[in-house]
Amino acid sequence: MADINVERKGPSIWPWILGLIALALLIWALTQMFGRDDRRTAGVVTDTMVTDTFPAATPMAPAATAEPAAVQQFAQWVDRRDAQEDAGLQHQYTVNGLRSLADALEAVVQQRGVDAAPARQEIETIRTNATQLEQSDWQSQQHANVTRQAFTAAADAMGRVHQQHYTGVVNLDNQVRQVRESAQAVQPAQPLLEQRDTLHRFFERSRDALTTMSRAPVV
């Protein structure tokens, strides 16, 4: 019986080829997927960097308020100081100063919206005392006392405005304190005509305090 020689073939390489092709396709797919993510990330970073290059907005400083006309007029009156007016026996200098001061105070109160009732009462005291001083007999011994009461009412009104709106304003606390000290410096038992410098000092310090208040920025 003749031997049949059967030639055995080696394993096929096609599975390997197909496997390599599949691996290549997988690598390509992964590369495409991650490539898109990188491009999107790069775009976000670029946008963020571009956005960050714009300067930050600078906070606006509080705007300074317009100084009321009544405050300006009072300051001008104080600076002018009419010597003839000052020397009159009817105390016209003090009367005019009190009325101008009352107008300036009222303007600041309205400008800042201060608690109206107490402030109006103090301003009315100033005006009432100015009229009383103007109409009284020149020999009256009450002139200094009436003036001191009006000055004290003005100091109270300024203190009220200061506490409600200006506790952080530089120098104003000292200015308001000086106004009150000047009011208290008026001697009730001494003739008012002998205290002209004391009166003028009070008006000067009131001018300084009211000017500071009216020019302070709105916060």
What does the pLDDT average to over 41-53?
46
Q: List 217's β-bridge partners, or say none.
A: 64
Q: pLDDT at residue 39 above 60?
A: no
Mind listing the pLDDT tens digit for each residue in 176-211? 999 999 999 999 999 988 899 999 999 999 999 999
Confidence of residue 122 (pLDDT cuts 50, 70, 90): very high
**Sequence spans of domains, the chain:** 69-215
Full 3-state SS string of the chain: CCCCCCCCCCCCCHHHHHHHHHHHHHHHHHHHHHHHHHHHHHHHHHHHHHHHCCCCCCCCCCCECCCCHHHHHHHHHHHHCCHHHHHCCCCHHHHHHHHHHHHHHHHHHHHHCCCHHHHHHHHHHHHHHHHHHHHCCCCCCCHHHHHHHHHHHHHHHHHHHHHHHCCCCCCHHHHHHHHHHHHHCCCCCCCHHHHHHHHHHHHHHHHHHHHHHHHCECC
Q: Which among 122, 214, 118, 119 has a CA at the least distance from the CA of 166?
A: 214
Q: pLDDT at residue 59 above 90?
A: no
Question: What pLDDT, on a 0 to 100 scale, did the predictor assign at position 89?
Answer: 63
| Entry pTM | 0.68
Which of 52-66, 138-152, 167-181, 199-213 shows the lowest per-residue confidence on average (mean pLDDT)? 52-66
